[in-house]
Amino acid sequence: MTLNLRPLAALCVALSLCALLAVPGNFAGLGADARLTLAVFALATCAWIATPVDDTYIALGAGLALTVTGVISSDTLFGTLGDSTVWLLICAFVLAAAVTRTGLAGRAAAFLVGGARTVRQLVHLTTAALVVTAFAVPATSGRAALALPVFLALAKALADRRRLVVMLALLFPTVILLSAVATLIGAGAHLITVSVLWQATGDRIGFTEWLLLGLPLAVASSHLAAEAVLLTTTRRADREGVVRITAEQIQEHSDDPVTGPWSQAEKRCALLLGTVVVLWCSEPLHRVPPAVVALIGAVVAASPALGTVHLKDALKTVPWALLLFMAATMAMGVALADSGAAGWLVGGLPSGVSPLLFLVVVVVISTAAHLVLQSRSARSSVLVPLVVAAAVGAGVNPVAAALASTAAAGFCHTLPASAKPVTLFSDLPGTPTYTPRDLLRLSAVLAPLTAALVLLFAVAVWPLLGVPL
């Protein structure tokens, strides 16, 4: 019987830090509230890293501890559930349920993938389709579940070309994870980042601003990753030859028609989704907050006359655990900032560090963080408050630093357990898929490429879009 020493080591580290913080003479200039906050933060982080306890349970426990000890008020803890970003995500899931119910995803897949004639065309058309799903389905796990039937159809059509099937199995989760940065609702981590920035600096990034900054990065990183997957998983001989995917093959894995005339429900849902996305993108013109637009869309999508899904059914698809996690970690971020703990943590950093070097360190740490913290939201909860505080002290734009950290943390492909989409596509009975060795080979190439691309955008592209370094 082997003993897992990882939880024990993490517990020892956390308790040692708490013991040091409990001694009044240690860490001059650190107030009582800051000491309590750092102790709770250390215990929560170690629990996220080394224990099988649910991430949401840990976050709620940390938020409760901070409230009971008086570091934050109960209004602060419970008020985070009423944050507009939480409502935005709830309504986005209701809209996604309406889209899924109508089968529009199958039609889009048949239209895009059916046009491929070569392996490279198939790869990049699939990538483009997956990027687009970031606007319709929030959260990477939801997009992975939506895309799985399409992959199974492609795998059956290419059953005699095993390497291509393995390549596509790796392509789907890779693009789903990297393209999430395209929109504010692409991942819960994005909403945590926006909330931390708002609380710490007063800068609020809206749906349009995030789209302007994130979509180009999502497109570039997704197609770059597609080439990396193609070249690391297949040989030249595998990439030769004609590819032909028919609508009939995709139809076999879809309960809804993927060709033929559109139903009234499909037309209404497509019009509603298009209207919501346009209103989100044109927020500077009409000044209606994205959460309000999403709520209007959700009400219409679930309405008896015009809707395509019952509200109670749509609400079942909402990841309530994720929302509670977000709310609790937002409260932890408030405690870090208001107690002075975050400022004290970064106060000892060496002065005179160049903005570029600071950003390189942030991106490298954020890229590697998935090896320690598997939850994307947990990574942002731990990293972003510290990055924002350190950026202010280093003379770096906190918005640029927080965005770079969040974008880099989107890379989580090294192990099958590193992200839910990777886990989902790694074990498909009866279908060839990738091995841990395939993931490691891809990560060795993709990790530095992704980090370099994020740095390039932060230094050269985002300043042109209004976010200087």
Q: What is the pLDDT of residue 347?
A: 65
Q: What is the pLDDT of residue 7?
A: 64
Q: What is the pLDDT of residue 254?
A: 66
Q: What is the pLDDT of residue 2?
A: 42
The reply to whether the predicted model has a pTM over 0.85 is no
8 A C-beta contact, residue 98 and residue 60: no
Collapse the DSSP code of 137 into the 3-class scheme (helix H, G, I; strand E, B; otherwise coil) and give the result: coil
DSSP 263: P
CA distance 137 to 145: 10
Q: Is 16 exposed, middle or buried (0-12, 13-18, 19+ CB in 10 A)?
A: exposed
Lowest model confidence (mean pLDDT) among 107-121, 125-139, 360-374 = 107-121
8 A C-beta contact, residue 308 and residue 265: yes
What's the token pair of residue 343?
């400022």
- Among 14-28, 202-216, 346-360, which range has the highest average pLDDT? 202-216
What tens digit of pLDDT does each residue of 152-183 get? 878 877 878 888 888 999 999 999 999 999 98
> Dihedral, CA atoms, 284, 286, 291, 293, nearest 10 degrees?
-130
User: Does the pLDDT at position 294 exceed 50?
Assistant: yes
Scanning the structure block, which residue is given the tokens 């409990």? 22
Q: What is the pLDDT of residue 200?
A: 77
Q: What is the mean pLDDT of the chain?
A: 83
Q: What is the pLDDT of residue 352?
A: 64
CA distance 8 to 16: 12
Return the ∠ at Cα 195 (arms to 73 and 363), rounded to 5°. Answer: 125
8 A C-beta contact, residue 418 and residue 170: no
- Over residues 329-339, the mean pLDDT reads 83
8 A C-beta contact, residue 44 and residue 59: yes
8 A C-beta contact, residue 182 and residue 218: yes
8 A C-beta contact, residue 335 and residue 71: yes
Q: Is 184 exposed, middle or buried (0-12, 13-18, 19+ CB in 10 A)?
A: buried
DSSP assignment string, 369-396: GGGT---HHHHHHHHHHHHHHHHHHHT-
User: Does the pLDDT at position 3 exceed 50?
Assistant: no
What tens digit of pLDDT does each residue of 51-70 get? 778 888 888 999 999 999 88
Scanning the structure block, which residue is given the tokens 């954020």? 366
DSSP assignment string, 407-440: HHTT---SSTTSSHHHHHHH--TTS----HHHHH
Measured in whole angstroms, the distance separating CA 275 from the mean position of its chain's CA atoms is 24
DSSP 273: H
